[in-house]
Every structure is written in C-alpha cells, then in structure tokens.
C-alpha cells in the first residue's frame, strides 16, 4: 500500500527508521521502507546498513552523488507501492499517530504536505540562523511546499518529477509545487509535522543559501513559464526593484554593507530581515553577472 522513502546523506537514520517501522507494524498495512544513500561517509553507511534486519526495509547506495531532487525521483522509481511517504533523514517522529494520519489519506492523485516543526529553544547558538529561519518561516501548516514530509501518489511524482538539473540545495520544492499547480493537481496541507533535527551551523547554512540563489537563477525562466515567479518573495522583490530601475543602486549599497550583513548572520543574534536583504543583494549580483554587469 505505502512505500516510506527516505533519502540519506551523512545522517544517522536509525531512530527515524525504527520509529516509522514500529508504527507501520502496529497499523498492519502493506508497507516497505526504502532507504537511498547518496554517497555518505563510511561511518554513516555502517550505521544505516543494518536497518535491513528490521524486515520490509530496503537499503540502496548510489555509486555517485546525485543530489536531493534526483534522489526523490529515484526513490519513486524504486518504490513498489502506489503511495509514497517521502521523509528527510534528519526528521524526528514526535506523534504516535503520524503514519496513521497519512494512511487514511491514501487515495489516487493525493499530494499532501505534512510540514515541519522545530524545538522551542535553539539547541546551540552556532545554529541560530538556521533555527530562527525554520522557526519563523517554515514551521506551521501551509507555509510553503515543503517536501521534508510529503505523501504523494507515485504515478504523479513519476509524471511531474523534481528537476534533475538541480543538484544543490534550494528552491527545488518551489519549482515542484509550481509544476503541480500549473498542471491542475490539487494539493493539500495537514497538521502532521516532523521535527527537523538536522540543523547546520550558521556559516554552513549561509553557504547553502548562496548555492540556493544559483538554483533560483536557473529555474526563474520555468517559473515564469508556469506563472509562478511572483510566488517567490525574493523574485517579487527583485522585479519591483527592476521596475523602478533600482537594481544597480541596490547592488551598490549592498556592496557597502555586505560585510556587516554577513557578520550579523553568522553571529549569535541574526536578524531575518538582514537575511532577506542579503539574499536580495546577492541575487541582484548574480543577475548582473548573468547579464554581463547590467
């Protein structure tokens, strides 16, 4: 009936898999848990390989790293049941009814986003930027197309896959949701979150943000094609600057204050409005570079 699909990269998935396995066994439904490792370090592979001893668990290792988008597509191909529950490996199950809530929603063409949550207190100041962004911008029902925790009909994902062109982190979920919406696929959101435990230190997260802006630049034409460019707040802000011929002026000002922005974002009390400003400034720089400085 349901294939629980977990992409893994450098994370110990044992607790997550054991918790989901226990819930599936209690529900007495047809299920499998498919684990796909994207060339993790040897230590993580050694921890996750024995999970196949649980039964109904398959573990596969990629020969080369393919990135999160292709990982989800490959998991859909590997799955044998018509309904896919795709869960990131750094998730933590906090609700004993988590799987049951999804099982009752299994019907043809279902796309259901369950959302994520974060601890009420940041576990360490070095994670403050990622934690604060998650707590304020990601936690809650229906805020965005989060594939951290999603139930989807397998045929739908095979028909409207994630973009194989995006290997780095960022905006692949926005494009995926935009493609589904453009195709007229009905999507729903339920309050069935998983705890996001895999926080990056602020410096590492800032590097991922820079990579994500490259993704946004790459997918911008397709977002326009499906009429979804204004669904991305960053693009909407950029278009407003462009409308009033302010992109060059904004880039000039951004160059002056960029260092202060970075210091704030890497510090113990990062501000999300500074992050928004930084992302817009960096995107303006990327657009200018792509347009030969214009």
Max Cα separation, the chain? 62
Q: Which of 199, 220, 236 is the last residue of a domain?
A: 199
- The whole-number mean pLDDT for each consecutive block of 10 residues of the chain, a chain of 294 residues, reads 97 98 96 98 98 97 94 97 98 97 96 96 97 96 90 97 87 94 96 97 97 96 94 97 97 98 98 98 96 70
Same domain, 193 and 220: no
Same domain, 11 and 141: yes
Cβ-based burial of 204 (10 A; exposed 0-12, middle 13-18, buried ≥19): middle
- Alpha-carbon span 270 to 288, nearest angstrom: 27
Same domain, 240 and 126: no
Same domain, 216 and 177: no
Same domain, 171 and 27: yes
Task: Specify if 177 maps to a domain.
Answer: yes
Q: Which of 199, 227, 260 is the last residue of a domain?
A: 199
Coil, strand or helix at 178: helix
Task: Specify if 204 maps to a domain.
Answer: no
Same domain, 138 and 68: yes
**Cα torsion at 165, 169, 175, 180 (round to 10°)?**
100
Task: Specify if 53 maps to a domain.
Answer: yes
Q: Which of 199, 227, 246 is the last residue of a domain?
A: 199
Same domain, 192 and 221: no
> DSSP code of 292?
T
pLDDT of residue 18: 98
Domains of the chain: total: 2
Task: Specify if 72 maps to a domain.
Answer: yes
Task: Specify if 147 maps to a domain.
Answer: yes
Structural domain boundaries enclosing 35: 2-199
Residues 6 or more apart from 56 whose CB is under 8 A from it?
Answer: 21, 24, 31, 32, 33
Same domain, 214 and 251: yes
> DSSP code of 12?
-
Same domain, 52 and 187: yes
Task: Specify if 280 maps to a domain.
Answer: yes
Task: Specify if 205 maps to a domain.
Answer: no
Same domain, 152 and 244: no
Task: Specify if 142 maps to a domain.
Answer: yes
Give the domain CATH number at 33. Answer: 3.90.550.10
Same domain, 10 and 109: yes
Q: What is the pTM of this model?
A: 0.94
Same domain, 28 and 162: yes
pLDDT of residue 5: 98
């Amino acid at each position: 009936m349901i294939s629980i699909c977990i992409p893994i990269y450098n994370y110990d998935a044992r607790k997550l898999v054991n918790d989901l396995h226990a819930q599936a066994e209690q529900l007495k439904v047809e299920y499998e848990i498919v684990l796909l490792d994207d060339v993790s370090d040897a230590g993580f592979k050694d921890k996750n390989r024995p999970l196949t001893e649980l039964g109904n668990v398959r573990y596969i290792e990629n020969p080369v790293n393919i990135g999160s988008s292709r990982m989800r597509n490959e998991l859909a191909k590997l799955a044998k049941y018509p309904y896919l529950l795709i869960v990131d490996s750094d998730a933590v199950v906090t609700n004993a009814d988590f799987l049951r809530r999804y099982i009752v929603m299994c019907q043809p063409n279902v796309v259901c986003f369950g959302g994520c949550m974060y601890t009420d207190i940041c576990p360490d100041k070095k994670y403050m930027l990622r934690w604060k962004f998650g707590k304020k911008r990601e936690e809650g029902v229906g805020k965005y197309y989060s594939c951290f925790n999603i139930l989807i009909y397998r045929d739908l994902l095979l028909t409207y896959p994630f973009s194989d062109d995006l290997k780095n982190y960022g905006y692949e979920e926005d494009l995926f949701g935009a493609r589904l919406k453009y195709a007229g696929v009905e999507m729903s959101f339920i309050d069935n979150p998983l705890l996001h435990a895999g926080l990056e230190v602020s410096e590492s997260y800032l590097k991922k943000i820079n990579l994500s802006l490259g993704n946004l630049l790459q997918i911008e034409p397709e977002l326009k094609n499906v009429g979804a460019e204004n669904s991305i707040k960053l693009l909407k802000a950029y278009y407003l600057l462009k409308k009033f011929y302010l992109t060059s002026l904004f880039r000039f000002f951004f160059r002056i204050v960029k260092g202060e922005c970075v210091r704030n974002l890497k510090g113990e009390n990062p501000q999300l409005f500074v992050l928004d400003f930084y992302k817009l400034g960096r995107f303006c720089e990327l657009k200018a570079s792509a347009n030969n400085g214009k």
